[in-house]
Amino acid sequence: MQDQEKFYSRLPSPLKDASYVAMAQVIRDARLKPTAPVTDAQIVEIGVVDSLQLEPDVWADTANMDAPKADLALRRRDCEIWIRLQEAVLKLTEDRAGAFVRYQFAHA
* Torsion-angle region of 104 (φ positive above 0: left; ψ -120 to 50: alpha; else: beta): alpha
Identify the DSSP state of 92: S
- pLDDT for residue 97 is more than 70: yes
Q: pLDDT digits over 9-32, tens only?
A: 777 888 878 888 888 888 898 889
Residues 44-55, mean pLDDT to the nearest whole number: 78
pLDDT at 32: 92
Question: Which sequence spans correspond to the domains of the chain?
Answer: 1-34, 37-108
What is the C-alpha separation between 102 and 91, in angstroms, rounded? Answer: 16
Record the pTM.
0.60
For 69, residues 6+ apart whose C-beta sits below 8 A from its C-beta are: 75, 78
